[in-house]
Amino acid sequence: MGEHELGAIGGRLADLAAAERAALVREIDASGAFAADPRWREAFATVPRHLFVPYYYVSGVGGYERRWCESSDPRSRQRWLRGAYEDVPLATRLRDGVLLSSSSQPSLMALMLAELRIEDGDRVLEIGAGTGYNAALLSYRLGDADVTTVDLDPEITESARRHLADAGYRPAVVTGDGARGVPERAPFDRIIATCTLASIPSAWLAQCAPGALVLAPLATGLILLTVRDAGHAEGRFLHTPAFFVPLRGADRPEPEPVALAGIPHRARESDLFRFLLTLTRGALDPQEAYALWEREGMPGRERYGITVGPGHAWAWLDAPEGPYAWPLPGSPGSSGPSGSTGSAAPRA
């Protein structure tokens, strides 16, 4: 194929990418994800997602189909490009059939970034570099110098750094355990995690400026915490569900599955009931959780919150000082306020 033909194909793909990106932005806009901060619309309209997913995997019959940008079939390249701008998460790294890294659903990314209410001059730490796309959006908004992204896997950080450079962004990309933060780049005004946590790492609060916001996936939800000081933070869950790859590193075992024998079918199938089970794991058994869930009218995620203090953390329903509070799973020495035992019964 001649140089002219290659150039023509490249031009058609560039036009297609621009059109698909504009369509994605309209879809995100219609979802309401930009509502908390419409300024993110420009970032999503500018940063080319396809440069961050030169290949990805789509599940199908018998396993995963790999789509990539260098396929010799023009129709396959177009399929790759269109898929890169669908409002879905994209699996980008597998090992023995296990998902290790992905590019998150763009509308969920937009919602999370908007809820952080970032201001000019804020210093942001991202936990979970992934493909680098989220760090690019942050760099577009704030500039490279104020953005840090960290990941445990050196292969992931190397590819993220390469994708970012290809797109024209150079934030700090650090290889390390995200639970330990990045102290040499602190203090941070915002921390955003793109991997599911079992608890809130104390190192994050110690690396935050007073009044900083921390947004992280936890218990199939998104907790938004306001940091008071190095040892204290508190906040509520957003209304939306969120499912991310778990934070990896030492001493973070997978939780055991919960037996739901005796729980009515409508509760077993309810995403909100499973959220409550995950949030109260070790404090309430399924029967206690079900009694609470029924009594309180199947509460949505936004009714729950978390309080973090030195050496302990607890989850609560409706208010930190209200009748329901439980030690947060994975938080050693946790105890709720006012001596709460974590019972499903209201406090006296």
Note if 101 is an active site residue: yes
Total Cβ atoms within 10 A of residue 308: 27
* Residue positions counted in the chain: 348
Q: How far apart are CA 296 and CA 340, in angstroms?
A: 18
Total Cβ atoms within 10 A of residue 30: 10
- Dihedral (CA of 79, 81, 83, 89) sign: positive
Question: Which of 327, 69, 35, 30 has the alpha carbon at shortest distance from 199?
Answer: 327
Catalytic residue, candidates 59, 72, 76, 101:
101
Q: How far apart are CA 238 and CA 225, in angstroms?
A: 11
- Dihedral (CA of 61, 67, 72, 74) sign: positive
Q: Which amino acid is at 59?
A: S
> What DSSP letter does each residue of 292-316 carry, written as one string?
HHHHTTS--GGGEEEEEETTEEEEE
The order of strands in the sheet holding 124-127 is: 172-175, 147-151, 124-127, 188-193, 208-218, 221-229, 232-237, 304-309, 312-317, 325-327
Q: How far apart are CA 276 and CA 269, in angstroms?
A: 13
Q: Burial of 76 by CB count in 10 Å (0-12 exposed, 13-18 middle, 19+ buried)?
A: middle
Largest CA distance in the chain: 81
Active site residues: 101
